[in-house]
Amino acid sequence: MTISLGFVVAEFNRDLTYQMELLGREHAEFLGATVKETILVPGVFDMPLAIKKLCQREDIDAVVTIGSVIEGETDHDQVVMQHAARKIMDLSLEFNKPVTLGIPGPGMTRMAAHERVDYAKRAVEAAVKLVRRL
Ligand SMILES: Nc1c(NC[C@H](O)[C@H](O)[C@H](O)CO)[nH]c(=O)[nH]c1=O
Ligand SMILES: CC(=O)[C@@H](O)COP(=O)(O)O
C-alpha cells in the first residue's frame, strides 16, 4: 500500500520552509510515499485548522508539518512554538492519525534554522514509520 501524506507548510521564513518542503518531498519519494495534498499557512501558529482538515480526509494516512520558528526580541517564538507543538500532538491523538513535527525552534537564530532544514526529512520519516507500524 502506498502511504499518502498531507503537508502543512508555513510561509513564514519561506526561504527556509521552501528548502524544507523540497527535502520533505524528496524523502517521501525515496520512502515510496505520496504527498497527496499540501496546504500553505501563514505561519506555524496557523497550522491547527489546516492539520484538522487533512486529518479528516480518509485518503490521507498521516500529516507532516513543516515550518521554522526563529527567535526575535521577545519570547513570542516560545508562545508560537509551544502552543503549536502541543496542538499538533492533540490533533494526532484526536484523529488517531500520525501528525509529525518538522518545525525547528524555539530559541533559534536564523543560522541555526539553516542548519536544521533537515527536520522536514525527520518528520516525513516519522510519519511513514508510524503509518507502517500502527
Ligand atoms: N515568528 C514566527 C512566526 N510567527 C507568526 C505566527 O506563526 C502566525 O503566522 C501569526 O501570529 C498570525 O497568526 N511564524 C513562524 O512560522 N515562524 C516564526 O519564526
Ligand atoms: C516568533 C515570531 O513571531 C517573531 O517574529 C517575533 O519577533 P519579536 O519577538 O521581535 O516580536
117 is in an annotated binding site: no
Alpha helices, DSSP H, located in 31-134: 47-55, 76-95, 110-115, 119-133
Q: Of 103, 133, 126, which Cα lies nearest the Cα of 28?
A: 126
Write the DSSP string, 28-54.
Answer: HHHTT-EEEEEEEESSGGGHHHHHHHH
ipTM of the complex in this document: 0.96
Q: Would you tell me how many other CB atoms lie within 10 Å of the CB of residue 84?
A: 25
92 is in an annotated binding site: no
**Mutational pocket test of ligand 2: of 13, 75, 77, the residue with most ligand atoms within 8 Å of the beta carbon:** 77
How many residues are listed for the chain in this entry? 134
Give the Cα separation of 102 and 24 in Å (integer).
Answer: 9
For ligand 1, the distance from its centroid to the CA atom of residue 80, given in whole angstroms, is: 7
| Grid cell listed for 112 | 541555526
Written as tens digits, the pLDDT of the chain (134 aa) is 899 999 999 999 999 999 999 999 999 999 999 999 999 999 999 999 999 999 999 999 999 999 999 999 999 999 999 999 999 999 999 999 999 999 999 999 999 999 999 999 999 999 999 999 99
- Domains belonging to the chain, first-starting first, are 3-132 (3.40.50.960)
Give the residue numbers annotated as catalytic, written as ranges: 76
Nearest CA owner, ligand 1 atom 9: 43
